[in-house]
Each structure stands twice: as C-alpha cells, then as structure tokens.
Amino acid sequence: MLARAVTFALVGLEPRRVEVEAHIQGSKTPSLTIVGLADRACQEAKQRVRSGILSAELEFPGSRITVNLAPAELKKEGSGFDLPIALALLAASHQLPRARLAEHASCGELALDGRLRRVGGVLAVGEGARRAELERIICPYEACAEAALAGVEPVGVRHLADAVAYLRGELEPPEFVVGNGKPRRRPLDLADVRGQERGRRALELAAAGRHNLLLGGPPGTGKTMLARRLPGILPPLEEEQALEVTRIHSVAGLVDPDHPLIGYAPFRAPHHSASTAAIVGGGPRLRPGEASLAHRGVLLLDELAEFQRPALEALRQPLEDGELVVARAAGSVRFPARFQLIGTMNLCPCGARGDPGAQCSCSAQRLARYRDKLSRALLDRFDLVVTVPRARALELQAGPGERSDPVRSRVVAARLRLAETLPKRTRAADELLTRAVERLPLSGRGRAKVAGVSRTIAALAASDAVLPEHVAEALAYRAPTELATP
Amino acid sequence: MIVLRRRELPLLLRAIHDPPARLYLRGNGDVAMLARTAVAIVGARACSPYGAQVARMLGRDLAAAGVVIVSGLARGIDSEAHRGALETDGHTVAVLGCGIDRDYPAAHASLAQSIAERSLIVSEYEPGVEPAPWRFPARNRIIAGLCAATIVVEARERSGALITADFALEEGREVFAVPGEITSALSAGANALLRLGATPLTAAADVLESLGIESLPDDRAATDNPLLDLLPATADELARKTGLAVGEVVATLAELDVAGLVAEGDGIYRRLA
C-alpha cells in the first residue's frame, strides 16, 4: 500500500517541495528503509518514528516498509521530516485517511514518546506550502505563530496522536497567539553612557544614514558600550523587511516561539574567534551566517583586528551587494545580508596607544602588522571613523546622558527626510569639499563617503541643502592618516 | 644611476672622518642638490601622532624655505619628514642602508618613487645589497654628514636617531631636539639630548635662524579662532569648555584641518605651527 505526505526541504532559505512516499509490502521480515538522499539526522528518523508511533498507541506495520523522499536528487537534511514520514507510514497502513493527508503540508521532529519538537525554518516551509496552494500545515504547536506568518493556516499539534486524531476528523486545530513583533528585552539605553559626546554623535549619524561605523580607542573607553546601544535608536522594520529577517532567523532556529515576527533591527555580535563560515554562512548544512542574521540590522565586530583576516575579507561582498552567495559544486545559495557594520578596535596591539595614562610598548613592525589586519578595501567600507578618547573622571561623575528615545525620534525624522529628497550641496559646500580633496589625503571613494555623510548631517539638522558646516563635520569622520597610510 | 667617487662627494660629507668610498644615486634630482643646505629629520619608527605631525610640519616648513630634507625612509618620523617636504614641492633626500634599487621598507615603495621623481635616493652600498641591521648605524653617519643640522623629533633611549645625533655632534654640526613629555618613553631620547646641551626646537624658524636663512612669511590664513587657544584637546573637551554642540566643534576643527592649522591624532586635536 502506498501513501504520500508533503513537506518542504530548505535549500538556503528557499523551500523545495518534497513528497514523502511510504510503501508497505507484505513480507515476513519487518524492515524500514529511507531512500532519497537523506542525511544522518534524517536517517535516524527511523528510530524516532518507530518509538513515536508505538507511544501514540498506534500500530507500527510489521512488514517491509520503504520510505522515499522525492525528488531523490535533492539533499534532505535535519529532523523536520519525522512527522511527514510518520504520517505517510500511518496512512499507508490505513490508520488515517490518505486523501486528507495529501491536502496538508507537515513538518516537525518526533520525540521518542511521540511528542513533537520544534524545528527551524517553519516559516519558509509555510511559505512553500502557500506557493504549492496547500492551505494547512501540520506543525509543532510552538511553531504555529511562525507558520501563520507565511499566510497558511497552521494546525498546531503537541503529540503525534493529536495529528492523527485531527486528520481522522476527531479533533479541531487549537487556538494560538501571534506575537506583537517587539523585542522581548528592552534594548540598552544611551542614558547609560556618560560623556563621549563625539561617539554619541557618530552613533546617531550612523543610525540616521545607515552608515558603517568604526570606533577606535584605548580599552575601557566605552566603544563597545556605545556600539551595543545602536539597536535602541534604530527605527522599527517595515512589514516586508520584518518577514525577511524572520525567515532567516527561523531557518537558523532562532525565533522566539511566542513572538516569532522580528519587527525590530536585529543585532549580532559574533566573537572574534568566529570562523569564516560562521560569519558568512555555509557549512555542510548551508546555514545562514552572522552576516545574514544581521540582515536589516547591525553586525558588531568587537575587536575588529582580532578577527581572522579571511573572515573579514569575506564581508566585503555583502557590504557591497547586500547579499551573500555561498557557492557549491551543486549550485549556489543566496542569503540576504544587508547589514550595518560596526567595528571597534584598539589603536595598537597592547592597547595603550591613545591613552595618556599609559605607555605603549608596541614596536613599529608590530603596529604595522596590527593595522595591516584590516585591508584598505575593508577600511574603505567604513563611512564614519571615530576615535573614542578616555573619559576624564569629571565626565564619569556627570549625570546620565541623553536617553535613546529622543535620539530615535530624530533618527526616524532624518530617515524620512532622506527617503523623500536627497539634500544637495550648496556652492560653498562644494568648494569646501574640493578644497579638502586637494589638501587632505582623500581618495575618490573617500570623497563619496564624505558627501554621503554630509547629506545625513544635513537631514538630521532638518536642512534642505547641504551647507559648508555639514561637509566640514563629515570631514571630521574620515579615516585618520595613521590608518589610511602605512 | 650615478656613482660619486670619494673626491666627488659634497663638501660636508667629504669632511667627516669616515666618508664613504662611493655614493650611489637614484632619482631625477640634480646632483648639486647634495651640496645645498640640508637638514636631517630623524626619530622613532613607532612614533606618536604628535611626533608624526611635528615631523611633517618641520619637513614642510623647512623645505618651503629651500632647505633640503634628509632622512632614512624608515617608518614613522622619517617618512613623515619626507612627505612634509614633498607636500610643498620641496627637495628631500633618502639615505638607505641597502642598495638603492631596494625599496626598504616595502611599505614605502610609493614614497620612494615620489622622492625619486624629483629628488634623490642615495646609498653607499652597491645596488642589490640587502638591508641588514648593522648597516643602519653606518647609514646614519651619511645622514648626519650630508647636513648642517640634525633634528631629533621623537626617540626612545638607545634609539638609532641618537646615533645620528652623535655623529652630528662629533662632526661639530648643530643638533636640535624637539622637547617631549618627560613622562613618555618615546621622548626620553630627545629629552636626554636636551639635557646634554642640544638646542631645543620650538618652530621651524629656530632652525632657519641658526642656518642663517631668512624664514618665509607664513602664508597660511591668519585666524583668531578661539578653539585654537584651547588645543590640544579632544572634541568632547572642547564642546564642554565652549558649550557648543560637538557636531559644531568637529565641523570647525575639520575646517581648520583643511586650512592646515590643526591635525587630529588618536582622538586629540593639536595645533600645527
């Protein structure tokens, strides 16, 4: 007897339809074989499916069973195939109606006691189901809200027995709650940062213009503290963007079951020991990397110069194109990665440089090697470069700084202005820029960056034109000569 | 490539007690340049932003007054002095501790190229000779020998720049030292020279005066910007002292930077000149 269930395998973020066929042959030797390019976790489904079915007090057919995952050429990965395999098997052994099963998509991992466990990528599976014009998806109950985002009707089940009861028409799908898209934890507030006016200003500019920001300075001056407060002054995401971000986080298995929609700019801060694959994505299972998880949000690389150089260089492509292409012999996979890059670094390997109270002990070669870690090409991607000096004791005694809320309002207003019309430079502003290019070591790309930042400054000042003072301030955020020239 | 034999060497260099047997020259500069009034600017490779700014300013101002700037093409102070001279289209001579066909350090290949375009790169070693640590002190005697005066900008104790200053003193040439913070190891060498009787250098005009050269009037836009009197300081400190928004402060400082009046290093703004 043959039965089919439908699920979707993910290639990168793309769902591909997979038919799970179960065939039972009358035979004296009971066996279960899974064919169709299933990986290790998928092969192990045999044990989970057997225990799950028995725990649900259903009958496990004592004959020769073949499960085929079609198309056979597509690699199937992970444990999400447990539920469709179990359902197809039960349908093939006449324990549930086959026709009704074929109208549903399904995914989920089985526990040995028959309960269902969440898997990653339910949103993408749901989207696949919608495109395949399947109206309902049977999924673990915790993933209901996530599946609903895809525009399909989720049937949340907690146990394999529930899924069977539902397909037999004995049980209605339970209610579920959709979250509000707000972050669970309040973002860190800028009020915690005392002094550091210049750093705060740079952060505001970075937020308003979506500029990449490099914060330099001796250790303990608050570079990381500032950088971590960027998400708190970013505007919320638009609906389409929120879905994009949620899809990526869903595939990585990182969504909050109660509030699956990520309606705010994500923030990722990988450790500097991260491998290239961890940052740009890939690996045997083709998972999105940190750069993609930071899509539409912030990627903070703390201690930039400590990262492996290949990992840093790999970021140049997404910084340019807004997406990552992981190429494989079998084809390539695209992950969106339009993030804002924030880097922090000390001015020298020992960290004392720039600190009036300490002596730097780095040799010229050591210093040059440290700075060579950042290629000119990567350094060029930072629109704003600011050195954060050590705050004086006086500043630390001062009251709290401005809170994030008013800053965010200014950022939102500036973004609206920039979206409407780009402010143009006045003649005097143009002259200052030309003079600066002649006088300072400023490359063509450097000039373009200054022009871009000056537009953001004008927008924040609610000015319709870019005035000379806006260009002048933008010039103050260019890369310092000690980083620009070896 | 030109080779000068011992009796063709410029007078000052021939006068030292151990003049080189030969001097190999590369570049489009006139050989007569070596006979013109020259000043050596030397110092630490791992210099501070302050040292780098001073070296560049001195290189620029002295070259603008017609003095040839001599240095060793090393990282830090040396390269800043060369760059300062090139900025005003002045002349600058790089003395190498290896063959003149070797760009050492490799990071300064393009700097060497711009020096060769209008000035000279010289060495007593034949083309092809590799750089070696023991050749650098010998190279320093040529730097000091070519010059009427030697300026030490920033140097640690037992720095190569002090060897250059020693050669200059032995030959009875003028030695200037730029005073530094007494707590900084980077200034220990220059301050030690001052204690031993070197002339303190506070402006390019000090050197020009001792060489008997009339200094050029400063053609930089005279400005009475009140921020200049508060330097050196960070942008945050200036904002607090003046009550201006930090954006306005850095905008003003950037304009002064474009005008060549201030420079930023490690977050601290300093006055130039």
Per-residue pLDDT at B223: 65
Query: CB distance from B255 to chain A under 8 Å?
Result: yes
A331, burial (CB in 10 Å: exposed 0-12, middle 13-18, buried 19+): exposed
Q: Answer yes or no: is A178 within a domain.
A: no
| Bigger pLDDT: A60 vs A42 | A60
Please give the order of strands across the beta sheet that includes B233-234: B233-234, B268-271, B262-265
B253–A197 C-beta distance less than 8 A: no
- Residue A486's pLDDT band, with cuts at 50, 70 and 90, is very low
pLDDT of residue A432 exceeding 60, the answer is yes
CB A436 within 8 A of CB A477: no
Residue B205 and residue B94 share a domain: yes
Q: Answer yes or no: is A182 within a domain.
A: no
Per-residue pLDDT at A393: 65
* B71-93 mean pLDDT: 92
Determine the Cα–Cα distance for residues B205 and B201; give it in Å rounded to an integer: 9
pLDDT of residue A415 exceeding 50, the answer is yes
Q: Answer yes or no: is B218 within a domain.
A: no
**Nearest-CA neighbor of A385 among A483, A274, A249, A245?**
A483
Q: Answer yes or no: is B221 within a domain.
A: no
Shortest CB distance from B250 goes to which of A198, A432, A440? Answer: A198
Q: Answer yes or no: is A299 within a domain.
A: yes
Residue B264 and residue B200 share a domain: no
Per-residue pLDDT at A57: 92
* A428-454 mean pLDDT: 87
Query: CB distance from B235 to chain A under 8 Å?
Result: yes
Residue B93 backbone dihedrals phi, psi, to 5 degrees: -115, 130
- Last residue of some domain: A167, A201, A220? A167
- Residue A371's pLDDT band, with cuts at 50, 70 and 90, is confident
Per-residue pLDDT at A485: 43
pLDDT of residue A97 exceeding 60, the answer is yes
| Secondary structure class of A46 (helix, strand, coil) | helix
Determine the Cα–Cα distance for residues A340 and A322; give it in Å rounded to an integer: 10
| Secondary structure class of B272 (helix, strand, coil) | coil
Residue B91 and residue B146 share a domain: yes
Angle at B182 between CA B181 and CA B185, to 5 degrees: 85
ipTM: 0.78
For residue B234, the chain A residue with the least C-alpha distance is: A389
| Secondary structure class of B104 (helix, strand, coil) | coil
Q: Answer yes or no: is A237 within a domain.
A: yes
Determine the Cα–Cα distance for residues A258 and A279; give it in Å rounded to an integer: 27
In chain B, positions 29-68, which contact chain A (CB-CB < 8 Å)?
44-46, 49, 52
For residue A392, the chain B residue with the least C-alpha distance is: B237
Structural domain span for residue A472: 421-486
Helices (H), B34-187: 49-64, 77-87, 109-118, 135-146, 160-170
pLDDT tens profile B138-157: 999 999 999 999 999 999 98
Determine the Cα–Cα distance for residues A81 and A434; give it in Å rounded to an integer: 62
A439–B236 C-beta distance less than 8 A: no
* Contacting residues of A for B264, CB less than 8 Å apart: 387, 476, 480
Residues 6+ apart with CB under 8 A from B8: none
Give Rg (Cα) of chain B. Answer: 19
A439–B258 C-beta distance less than 8 A: yes
Residue A273 and residue A393 share a domain: yes
Q: Answer yes or no: is B220 within a domain.
A: no
Q: Answer yes or no: is A328 within a domain.
A: yes
Sign of CA dihedral A433, A438, A439, A445: positive
Helix (H) or strand (E) holding A184: none
Structural domain span for residue B100: 2-211
**Nearest-CA neighbor of A98 among A170, A25, A1, A27?**
A1
What is the number of structural domains in chain A?
A: 3
Residue A7 and residue A43 share a domain: yes
Q: Answer yes or no: is B164 within a domain.
A: yes
Per-residue pLDDT at A320: 87
Sign of CA dihedral A58, A64, A69, A75: positive
Nearest-neighbour CA in chain B from A9: distance (Å): 51
Angle at B26 between CA B84 and CA B45, to 5 degrees: 40
Determine the Cα–Cα distance for residues A212 and A342; give it in Å rounded to an integer: 6
What is the number of structural domains in chain B?
A: 2
Per-residue pLDDT at A483: 58
pLDDT tens profile A124-154: 999 999 999 998 999 999 899 899 999 899 9
- Residue B230's pLDDT band, with cuts at 50, 70 and 90, is confident
| Domain CATH for A292 | 3.40.50.300
* B98-118 mean pLDDT: 87
Residue B143 and residue B244 share a domain: no
pLDDT tens profile B239-266: 888 888 888 999 999 888 888 788 888 8
Per-residue pLDDT at B216: 61
- Residue A301's pLDDT band, with cuts at 50, 70 and 90, is very high
Shortest CB distance from A472 goes to which of B237, B254, B264? Answer: B254
| Domain CATH for A476 | 1.10.8
Residues 6+ apart with CB under 8 A from A365: none
Determine the Cα–Cα distance for residues A424 and A451; give it in Å rounded to an integer: 10
- Residue A395's pLDDT band, with cuts at 50, 70 and 90, is low
Residue A384 and residue A453 share a domain: no
Residue B230 and residue B182 share a domain: no
* Contacting residues of A for B136, CB less than 8 Å apart: none
Q: Which residues partner with B94 through β-bridges?
A: B71, B121
% of chain B with per-residue pLDDT over 90: 44
Per-residue pLDDT at B273: 65
- Last residue of some domain: A167, A200, A226? A167
* Contacting residues of A for B77, CB less than 8 Å apart: none
**Nearest-CA neighbor of A89 among A136, A32, A169?**
A32
Shortest CB distance from B258 goes to which of A359, A436, A481? Answer: A436
| Domain CATH for A114 | 3.30.230.10
pLDDT tens profile A449-466: 999 999 999 999 999 899
Residues 6+ apart with CB under 8 A from A434: none
DSSP 8-state symbol, B218: P
Determine the Cα–Cα distance for residues B103 and B101; give it in Å rounded to an integer: 6
Helices (H), B88-127: 109-118
Residues 6+ apart with CB under 8 A from A160: A52, A53, A55, A56, A58, A83, A86, A110, A114, A115, A116
Instruction: Supply A458's token pair.
Output: 């004008």
| Secondary structure class of B156 (helix, strand, coil) | coil
Residue A452 and residue A381 share a domain: no
Per-residue pLDDT at A154: 93
Residue with tokens 């009197």: B229
